[in-house]
């Protein structure tokens, strides 16, 4: 089994953290000057590790092994949320770098090919999953081209202007090599509290959940809050509140322990204490790993909308905000490699579990055998400056990733 170097691993993670460090967290938005600096540093570290590294025409960093293959691809992202943690995405990229070095330092594995990537804009500063979509290509090419032309960040900067400012416009885009790449492994922090609560150190991901994002709009009548009797009001806000209570009951009747739903935003018009709201919007997201359950939740929600709309006096309509995202099952054979590695490195302290968050791996799964492994998040916190993972778990997870990568590659080499 290849052996990682904990001090080197933690040192690289902490150096990457310094690019955009803000208190305990990091602000490193895609294609910002500090993000480009971090990507240039990453290229240097990959080259030092014996990989041929480059930043491509959308900002992806790819370190390609000089070995002929078959090659395993390990990747994640190094961009952050506007108030991001230091490990979300970054952990998986630096794991890949350290695993590449560990494989090269072992006589048993130095002949194996491991490619390492940091995908641009997983977090959606301009266009979510831009880097992995660009790398996969094919059906994603049109959407990537559209994003390069038209996508803007929250400050209004066009993506193609950001690429020009970074000196990347016109560079070739790296692509998936289907004759070379045999699988994709994405290590990541859990971004939840299940591992910590159960006392486990490693999660072997079974499924990345599907997601629906919708808006329910309630249309009543604005009126004076002091002079309009309750009996004749068409109060969109009050109807929205009653709707949420019924929706919770309907969803709970369908849910299992992994089902989640969130009312992430409510807008009241005009939003004044002295005006009965004439319009109210509820923005809803729900996630589950079971496609049938997601469909049942959609059906239940639509039925509830029809019921409230029919009884009045407030009109209710349902609108889909974004295309449905279906659950994605991780490759069973890849899962087994990770599970065996977890048992060898951390016997009895690992568990199979779904991912409640979206990841680049869900795009790769349609094109390559793909899997993920998780390490615990302290307090279950992520997408926040206080996001953290114990050094012990960071090191342990990387050793599991190294063992799994070696197992996958040795098996592939033996079958060719």
Q: Would you list which residues are annotated within the binding site for Zn(2+)? A: 77, 88, 123, 188, 383
d(CA 81, CA 17): 14
Find out whether 367 and 36 touch, Cβ atoms under 8 Å.
no
Q: Which two tokens stand for residue 354?
A: 């779904």
Known binding positions? 77, 88, 123, 188, 383
Q: Which two tokens stand for residue 356?
A: 């409640």
Nearby residues of 11 by Cβ (< 8 Å), 6 or more positions away: none
What are 65's strand-pairing partners? Answer: 51
What are 22's strand-pairing partners? Answer: 25
Helix axes 33-48, 6-18, angle to 10 degrees: 160
Strands 181-189 and 223-224: unpaired
How many residues make up the chain in this entry?
416
d(CA 65, CA 47): 10
Nearby residues of 14 by Cβ (< 8 Å), 6 or more positions away: none
d(CA 383, CA 106): 36
């Amino acid at each position: 089994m290849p052996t990682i170097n904990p001090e080197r691993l933690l040192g690289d993670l902490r150096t990457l953290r310094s690019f955009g460090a803000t208190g305990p967290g990091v602000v490193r938005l895609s294609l910002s000057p500090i993000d480009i600096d971090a990507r240039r540093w990453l290229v240097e570290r990959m080259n030092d590790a014996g990989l041929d590294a480059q930043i491509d025409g959308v900002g992806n960093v790819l370190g390609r092994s000089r070995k002929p293959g078959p090659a395993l691809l390990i990747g994640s992202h190094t961009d952050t949320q506007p108030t991001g943690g230091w490990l979300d995405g970054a952990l998986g990229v630096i794991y890949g770098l350290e695993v590449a070095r560990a494989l090269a330092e072992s006589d048993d594995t130095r002949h194996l090919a491991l490619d390492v990537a940091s995908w641009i804009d997983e977090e959606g500063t301009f266009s979510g999953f831009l880097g992995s979509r660009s790398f996969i290509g094919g059906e994603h090419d049109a959407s990537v081209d559209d994003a390069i032309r038209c996508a803007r960040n929250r400050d209004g900067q066009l993506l193609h202007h950001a690429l020009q400012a970074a000196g990347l416009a016109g560079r070739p885009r790296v692509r998936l090599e289907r004759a070379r790449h045999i699988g994709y492994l994405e290590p990541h922090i859990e971004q939840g509290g299940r591992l910590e609560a159960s006392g486990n150190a490693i999660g072997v991901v079974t499924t990345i959940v599907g997601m629906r994002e919708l808006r329910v709009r309630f249309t009543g009548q604005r009126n004076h809050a002091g002079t309009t009797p309750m009996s004749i009001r068409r109060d969109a806000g009050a109807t929205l509140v009653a709707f949420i209570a019924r929706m919770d009951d309907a969803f709970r009747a369908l849910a299992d322990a992994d089902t989640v739903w969130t009312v992430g935003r409510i807008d009241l018009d005009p939003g004044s204490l002295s005006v009965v709201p004439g319009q109210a919007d509820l923005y809803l997201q729900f996630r589950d790993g079971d496609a049938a359950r997601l469909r049942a939740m959609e059906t239940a929600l639509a039925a509830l909308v029809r019921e409230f709309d029919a009884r009045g006096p407030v009109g209710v309509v349902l609108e889909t905000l974004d295309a449905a995202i279906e659950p994605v099952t991780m490759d069973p054979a890849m899962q087994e490699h990770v599970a065996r590695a977890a048992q060898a490195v951390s016997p009895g302290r690992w568990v199979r579990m779904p991912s409640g968050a979206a990841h680049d791996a869900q795009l790769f799964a349609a094109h390559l055998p793909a899997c993920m492994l998780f390490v615990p998040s302290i307090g279950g916190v992520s997408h926040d400056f206080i996001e953290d993972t114990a050094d012990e778990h960071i090191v342990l997870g990387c050793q599991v990733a190294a063992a799994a990568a070696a197992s996958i590659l040795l098996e592939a080499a033996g079958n060719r």
